[in-house]
Amino acid sequence: MPTMSCRVAFYSHDTMGLGHMRRNLLLAQALKHSRLQAVVLMIAGAREASLLTATAGVDCVALPSLRKDANGQYHPRHLDVSLPELLALRAQTACAALGAFDPDVLIVDNVPRGAVRELDPVLESLRAKRRTRLVLGLRDVLDDPITLQREWARAENQDAVRRYYDAVWVYGDPTVYDPVREYAFAPEVAAKVRYTGYLDQRARLAFGRRDGKDPAALLGLSPGWLALCLVGGGQDGAALAEAFVEAELPPDTNGVLVTGPCMPVEVRQRLSRRTAGHAGRRIIPFLREPTRLLRRADHVVAMGGYNTVCEILSFGKPALIVPRVKPRCEQLIRAHRLQALGLVDVLHPESLNPAALSSWLAGAPARVPPVRGRIDLNGLNRIPGLLEDLLGSRPIRPARRRSRAEVHHAA
């Protein structure tokens, strides 16, 4: 019997940080290693995607980049062209890639019509062909309800979900945050929603390269406790990073800061100067898989992005979340819901300073209550089944036979 596979494409608009890309990559790897043996193409809105996919067995088309300013407005990040020109170029690139790849399923991350409706031509094209199933993948929290409802009404997002999408997957647990109720989704949209549970980030270790070496030892740190600071992609992580490098660490504790590849060079250089000569301090610009270092950490200070919080929960780490509050309140809402469950501590960024971090590190708990008894972390186990249900009786194409040269090279 021939090996069967399906083709899955992911889209993420990626205007801030690496969160959308990292989440899509984890989902892609889970589907690739499931019995579906998915062949995956990622369409990402930032060129940093290649940093993540290089060793994952997943290929990527990077769209010309957008950036979002502090007021939530979009602008070209690198190209000296108008916003309409850039959006047209991104839409044409995505259309061409999907037309050639011909996926069985397209999973769109977070924004039903893409950044500034750039996916409209893609959605119309796929609807006309009636071959590709469409899934909207949503994180647990999108923004505060009033802002989100206003944005979705202005973009006519619920109409887009009704018209184009076969399913909506929420990567969360409704007992923590229920977007159907919080955002008052229309009945036709709510009927398409399936809650997957949060995504257990321990799978990243199974999908990545196996290496038994202690990541702290590889950094040349002395044995002892490890305090880890994570600021996501780094664009807006300067305040937390600077407070962490100035904070006083408890005795026998090393401090490691991962700045992210998007932190401005001048900020990273300033941080490096401040930590120069401190034997127990390290600054790392980028880690393809920071999960290995987080697993080793004893305490974590971090911003509150979806992936980082899921990593903290997956490994049961004592954590202080200093959430982003602009241009969205998503991180603040998530952090407060988890704080109410006793799973994280929260510091509002207005109260952020080195003394506040020093105080938390000095009194941080050695462990947190069992996470899996409080929230659902089984998302990666459920999603292949949801995809199979979506495909239904549709025939899945035979997996491509590898050539002799490919087999020889793999050996």
Query: For residue 66, what pLDDT band results from cuts at 50, 70 and 90?
Result: confident
Whether 124 maps to a domain, the answer reads: yes
How many whole angstroms separate alpha carbon 37 and alpha carbon 402? 14
User: What pLDDT was estimated at residue 408?
Assistant: 44
Q: Measured between alpha carbons, how far is 258 from 411 in angstroms, rounded to an integer?
A: 35
Distance CA 299, CA 228 (A): 6
Residues 6+ apart with CB under 8 A from 3: 37, 398, 399
Residue 47 and residue 93 share a domain:
yes
Asked if residue 355 and residue 233 are part of one domain, the reply reads yes
Taking 80 as the threshold, does the pLDDT of residue 186 lie above it? Answer: yes
% pLDDT > 70, the chain:
91
Q: Rounded to whole angstroms, how far apart are CA atoms 144 and 327?
A: 11
Closest by Cα among 325, 328, 330, 368 to 348: 325
Q: Is residue 407 predicted with pLDDT exceeding 50?
A: no
pLDDT value for 68 = 78
Classify residue 104 by burial, with Cβ atoms within 10 Å: 0-12, 13-18, 19+: buried
What does the pLDDT read at residue 1?
A: 37
Residue 377 predicted with pLDDT over 90 = yes
Instruction: Assess if residue 203 is contained within a domain.
Output: no
Question: Quick check: is 190 in a domain?
Answer: yes
139 and 267 belong to one structural domain: no
- Other CB atoms within 10 A of residue 266 CB: 9
Residues whose CB falls within 8 Å of the CB of residue 92, separated by 6 or more in sequence, listed in order: 121
Q: What is the CATH number of the domain that holds 230?
A: 3.40.50.2000
Q: What is the pLDDT of residue 55?
A: 61
Is residue 53 over pLDDT 80?
no
- Any domain includes 108: yes
**What are the tens digits of pLDDT across the range 234-262?**
889 999 999 999 999 999 999 999 998 88
Q: Please, which pLDDT band fits residue 226 given cuts at 50, 70 and 90?
A: very high
Q: Are residues 178 and 114 in the same domain?
A: yes
Considering the domain architecture, whether residues 127 and 240 belong to the same structural domain is answered as no
20-39 pLDDT tens trace: 888 999 999 999 999 999 99
Expressed as residue numbers, the domain containing 60 is: 7-198+376-410
pLDDT of residue 293: 94
User: Do 331 and 237 meet the contact criterion of CB atoms below 8 Å apart?
Assistant: no
Residue 1 lies inside a defined structural domain of this protein: no
Give me the residue label for tokens 């999908």.
Answer: 207
98 in the same domain as 49: yes
Can you tell me the mean pLDDT for 78-99?
92
**Does residue 368 lie in a domain region?**
no
Single out the residue in 340, 363, 386 at which a domain terminates.
363
Whether 347 is covered by a domain: the verdict is yes
Let me know: does 161 contact 190? Beta carbons within 8 Å. no
**pLDDT confidence of 7, banded at 50, 70, 90?**
very high
Cα torsion angle, 103, 105, 108, 113, sign: positive
Confidence bin at 214 (pLDDT 50/70/90): confident
What pLDDT sits at residue 227? 98
Does the global pTM surpass 0.85? yes
In this prediction, residue 209 has a pLDDT band, given cuts at 50, 70 and 90, of: low
The two tokens of residue 41 are 């193409």
pLDDT band at 119 (very low <50, low <70, confident <90, very high): very high
- Indicate whether 306 and 383 sit together in one domain: no
Please tell me the predicted confidence (pLDDT) of residue 287.
83
Residues 221 and 73 in one domain: no
130 lies in the same domain as 94: yes
Q: Which residue has the higher pLDDT, 54 or 197?
A: 197
Q: Average pLDDT over the chain, rounded to whole?
A: 89
**How do 319-321 and 299-302 pair as beta strands?**
parallel
138: three-class secondary structure by DSSP: strand
Verify that 176 and 286 share a domain, yes or no.
no
Q: Which pLDDT score, from 0 to 100, does residue 51 have?
A: 65
- Give yes or no for a contact between 75 and 69, defined as CB atoms under 8 angstroms apart: yes
Number of structural domains, the chain?
A: 2
pLDDT of res. 406: 46
* Residue 204 maps to a domain: no
Residues 178 and 224 in one domain: no
Residues 148 and 251 in one domain: no
Q: Is the peptide bond before 112 cis (omega within 30 degrees of 0)?
A: no
Please check the confidence at residue 73 and state whether its pLDDT lies above 60: yes
Cα 396 to Cα 404: distance, rounded to the nearest angstrom: 24
